[in-house]
Amino acid sequence: MTASAASTVTHPTVTRHVTASGARIYTIGIRAFEHLGVNVFLVVVGDPQQPSYTALIDAGSSFDFSQQGLLDGLKRVREEYGEAWSWETLSRLVITHPHPDHVGGLPFVRTLTAAPVAAHALAAAVIEEPGRRAEAFKLGADAMLARLGVPEGEYAARLRRRAGNLMSPSGVKVETALQDGDTLDGLFTVLHTPGHDGAQICLRLDEVLLSADHLLPHNSPPLMPGWMLPGSGLGPYLAALDHIETLEGVDLALGSHDEPMPDWRGRVDFLRRRYDDKLRGVLGAASEPQTIYALTCAVNPRLRAAQALLLLDQTAALVEELVVRGELHETREQAADGERWTYQRA
């Protein structure tokens, strides 16, 4: 653990929600990265002294401080709330999507329990062989840079480095491949919610929606275009918002970051309006042919290095959606230094 990472270590937070059927959902807030917290969830059913079912949903990151936070939080559930769960009797591990703050800690957790892993069918390959997606991204990095229009320099170097990042340090077998509409272990309703990641799922338990990174109380989830990561993009994200909004009897959403969302439908409405504003911003900047990189700089004039890659991804997703809607015209030309992609209002 680096000194800077160690300085961010905090005690985990633990809160409890008891559902209509008596299931207990424990939200355990831990550090995933130096400046990012994440929520993992322990679901317990039955007598606290002898639970009939327990499930751990997500596993934090691969950093030591994240794993220690997970252990400390789970210990608090046992000691402060009297839940006699154990690694030996854990019934299920669930991964909502294969991003490093959710799946990175899974290899560590696998050393503690033999509980079977469940994830969306599209996530299984990444979880079982994390190097395959990283290798594919590395091989396609130059083509990605060309399509984004990123000039050689700091951002290009950072994008190439990111392309080789592993979601998890080692593979873990997925025993249960999930699809939209499945019922997991007779308890959870599975909702496939692509957009942020093509393999993301949310889980419904009674009146509670475990909304992963699909629905968060303060931030819109980072989006990539579908050409960069299949199943990602603004179109799939908005469609998945429509999907969860059809749920009846859900009065609380628990996201993978930050606090609970009792007014989760209001949050859905806000996110739709926010993305409409972002789409209009890109259209306004595209009066002349522009690369995605140039559009990113135009709509984010105070672009900071820490945000640059996520904002490039987001602009690419916005551009992709506007092209699909017929509001932007895409031009692909062969230039002296390779292909050049530009976009202009239709």
Q: Could you tell me the two tokens for 274?
A: 């926010």
Check pLDDT > 90 for residue 28. yes
CA distance 48 to 34: 34
Look-up of token digits 């591990």: 93
Query: What is the SS3 assignment for 50?
Result: strand
Whether 110 contacts 172, CB under 8 Å: yes
Check pLDDT > 50 for residue 118. yes
Check pLDDT > 90 for residue 133. no
Q: Could you tell me the two tokens for 341?
A: 């992609």
CA distance 250 to 19: 11
Check pLDDT > 60 for residue 2. no
Give the pLDDT confidence score for residue 140 in this predicted structure: 83
Q: Could you tell me the two tokens for 139?
A: 């091989």
Percent of all residues in the chain with a pLDDT value above 70, rounded to a whole number: 97
What is the spatial order of strands in the sheet that 36-47 belongs to? 13-18, 24-33, 36-47, 50-57, 92-94, 117-120, 176-178
Whether 142 contacts 132, CB under 8 Å: no
* Segment among 127-136, 271-280, 289-298 with least mean pLDDT: 127-136
Give the pLDDT confidence score for residue 339 in this predicted structure: 84
Q: Could you tell me the two tokens for 80?
A: 């402060």
Give the pLDDT confidence score for residue 176 in this predicted structure: 98
Percent of all residues in the chain with a pLDDT value above 90, rounded to a whole number: 82
Give the pLDDT confidence score for residue 134 in this predicted structure: 76
DSSP calls for 248-297: SS--EEEESSSS-BTTHHHHHHHHHHHHHHHHHHHHHH-SS-B-HHHHHH
CA distance 131 to 202: 25
Check pLDDT > 50 for residue 144. yes
Check pLDDT > 60 for residue 4. no
Check pLDDT > 70 for residue 340. yes
Check pLDDT > 90 for residue 12. yes
Give the pLDDT confidence score for residue 3 in this predicted structure: 37
* Segment among 28-42, 157-171, 233-247, 285-299 with least mean pLDDT: 157-171
179: nearest Cα among 98, 121, 240: 121
One-letter identity of residue 61: S
Q: What is the mean pLDDT of residues 122-139?
A: 86
Check pLDDT > 70 for residue 7. no
Give the pLDDT confidence score for residue 298 in this predicted structure: 95
Check pLDDT > 90 for residue 138. no
Q: Which residue has the higher pLDDT, 159 or 201?
A: 201
Residue 220 is given by DSSP the state P
Q: What is the mean pLDDT of residues 186-190?
A: 98
Give the pLDDT confidence score for residue 8 in this predicted structure: 47
* Mean of pLDDT over the chain: 94
Q: Could you tell me the two tokens for 37?
A: 């917290």
What is the spatial order of strands in the sheet that 252-255 belongs to? 183-184, 188-192, 201-205, 208-212, 252-255
320-338 confidence digits (pLDDT tens): 999 999 999 999 998 777 7
Whether 194 contacts 230, CB under 8 Å: no
Q: What is the mean pLDDT of residues 183-190?
A: 98
Q: How confident is the model at residue 9 (pLDDT cuts 50, 70, 90)?
A: low
